[in-house]
Amino acid sequence: MATDTQPPRLARPATRTMGRSVLLTLPIVLWSFLMFGNPSVHQDLQAHIAGAMTAVFMIVLFFMMMKTGTTYRWRRWFFVSLGLLFPIGFIHNVIAMRGTMGIPVEEMIAGRTPFCFMPIPLLILPAAFTRTLVFPGSILPNGGMSGSGIAAMVGLWLAITLVIGKGWCSYACFFGGIEEGIAAVPKRAKIRKIDPRWRYLPWAVLLAMVLLSLALFEPAYCMWLCPFKAVSEYVAARNTVGLIQNGIFVLLFAGLVIALPLLTKKRTQCSFFCPFGAFQSIFNKTSIFEVKIDQSRCKPCVLCQNACPNMSLSKESVARGEALMSCMKCGACVDACPRQAVVWHIKGTDVAWKPERARLMFLYAAWAMAVMFGGSIIAQGIATILHFLA
Amino acid sequence: MRLRAKLGYTAAGLTVLAALLTPFLLYGLIAKGFVGLGLHVDEMYSGGPKLRSVQKGDYSITIHRAVYPHLLQSENSFVQLDWSPVSALPAHVSDAVDIDGDGQPDVRVSFDVPSDPKAQLRVNVEPLNPRYQAMRDVEKGRFSRLIVRVDNAILVRVPLAKP
């Protein structure tokens, strides 16, 4: 009798007509024009073409989200492109400016080390106790190697985080796309049973790195553990310690970003290691958007848990009707649920009440950030490729 | 609609507005606020504030304040000396430098200035005051004892003797 009381299985509610989908995409068309249509930003023809290609790419993906009512696979196209094109643009940039991917000590002393978002949690305690930033960069927004100092990245990070919380890890992080792309390659996971306790490891890494950064007065994660140093820039190996550091970067990249995603079909670096992701989880508590489970529709089938790329749904959390605080808002679980029980949600509203409205509001905010931040990185990567082809 | 739901939608609307304002206003405001915190980059990297300059013919030597390591930082304390401009330096520099400003030279610093700006530099430092450590053929292995060329200056970091 229990099945009789459950709501009937619904057709996907958000499949829209062409006209309505176009209408809903218009704000993103306008936004993309604002972000990529300024001729003063782009210097040459290749950059103009790259900007136009990126704008079209982002508009088409958003249109498909509107048309099909699904989010994950279209977002994944963007995110994987971001992950693959970031190293191309970045490495080309550093090699053009300093001739090597290794950070020379001269550049550190000159405060020209590019600042990515990863060290942000590591800077907090030393800054709080001594007003000192333990990073060899420039504080000024227009400082640093390519005019993007620490203040610029902190400004972008905090603004985007205020808007989408841990959605940063699905719409802005320029590293996660590499493993998301690799995780998408195999048809089936070879390792399916993963001990859920591994989920706590990023918190342990975060705590250890924050304390070590305070004690050693250096960005400990960047110096010793960041797998993405292998595809961005690394400590120039001036001595044996430098060689060991670079060896660790390559091993972690090979293990966490290539091998394990291939075996598990999960974003293993993000799920089980990334201290920034753990730190970012805190901001899911302040974000107005979240993923909820409508328990009146849910028939615990674990499809959502299997679909989640970073194990942010557990049996217990589904029973509570919510995702864990590590949820990256990628939309995989929402798309995977055949009963539309997993829904986008605005805090304070009833769970089952107009989830598509919540999805739209979240996607407008998230996609605006994706076009602005990720889009500019994609455009730089495409421009680099066009430069090589020209 | 309940009050909580109204508040939720209002907050969501404000969030979308914040997203739209990010590139034009919000990002710049946060960045400016961050700069306004008055933080500074660790002196182990930046070399500490400049104390004074000594003119030596066509070039000058800038003396920085001594930098001391924090907590478990794996570096010695040091003093940074800058020779600039590089274009005015002779092929071989050997200068006695009064670091503490008492009128007596504290170290003699010697290095060659190769014409190739990418060439590896090596420095010798002879301490004339027991407060400073000697350096022999040192390149750039550690932040607290090195010689590097940064833009139009050659920087030498002389480690302080341990007390």
Q: Can you tell me the ipTM of this complex?
A: 0.91
C-alpha pair distances (Å), B57 with each of B52, B131, B154? 16, 27, 16
Residue of A35, A109, A239, A360 to mutate, interface with B, max B Cβ within 10 Å:
A109
Residue spans of the domains in chain A: they are 16-99+354-390, 102-286, 288-353
For residue range A310-361, what is the model confidence (pLDDT) as tens digits? 999 999 999 999 999 999 999 999 999 999 999 999 999 998 888 999 999 9
The amino acid at A227: P
Instruction: Return all residues near A184 (Cβ < 8 A) that are at least 6 apart.
Output: A76, A80, A265
Annotate B147-158 with b (16+ C-beta within 10 A) or e (fewer).
bbbbeebbbbbb
Confidence of residue B163 (pLDDT cuts 50, 70, 90): confident
Task: Give the nearest partner residue to B22 out of A152, A289, A369, using CB atoms.
Answer: A369
Burial class (CB in 10 A: 0-12, 13-18, 19+), A375: buried
Please check whether residue B116 is in contact with residue B72, taking contact to mean a CB–CB distance below 8 angstroms: no
Task: Give the nearest partner residue to A151 out of B31, B143, B150, using CB atoms.
Answer: B31
Task: Give the nearest partner residue to B22 out of A126, A163, A362, using CB atoms.
Answer: A163
Give percent of chain A above pLDDT 90: 78
Confidence of residue A1 (pLDDT cuts 50, 70, 90): very low
Tell me the CATH number for domain A288-353. 3.30.70.20
For residue range A273-289, what is the model confidence (pLDDT) as tens digits? 999 999 999 999 999 99
Residue of A nearest to B139 (CA): A238
Task: Give the nearest partner residue to B151 out of A110, A215, A217, using CB atoms.
Answer: A110
Residue spans of the domains in chain B: they are 1-39, 43-159
Average pLDDT over residues A207-215: 96
How many Å lie between the alpha carbon of A373 and the closest alpha carbon of chain B?
9
pLDDT of A3? 37
The answer to whether residue A380 scores a pLDDT higher than 90 is yes
Average pLDDT value over all residues in chain A: 91
Confidence of residue A39 (pLDDT cuts 50, 70, 90): low
Is A368 in the B-facing interface, judged by CB distances under 8 Å?
yes
Contact A214 B71 (CB under 8 A): yes
Contact B5 A154 (CB under 8 A): no
Specify the pTM: 0.92
Is A130 in the B-facing interface, judged by CB distances under 8 Å?
yes
Confidence of residue A50 (pLDDT cuts 50, 70, 90): very high
pLDDT of B162? 82
Between A142 and B156, the more confident residue is B156
pLDDT of B89? 96
Average pLDDT over residues A176-205: 94
For residue range B46-91, what is the model confidence (pLDDT) as tens digits? 999 999 999 999 999 999 999 999 888 889 999 999 999 999 999 9
For residue range B116-152, what is the model confidence (pLDDT) as tens digits? 988 999 999 999 999 999 999 999 888 999 999 999 9
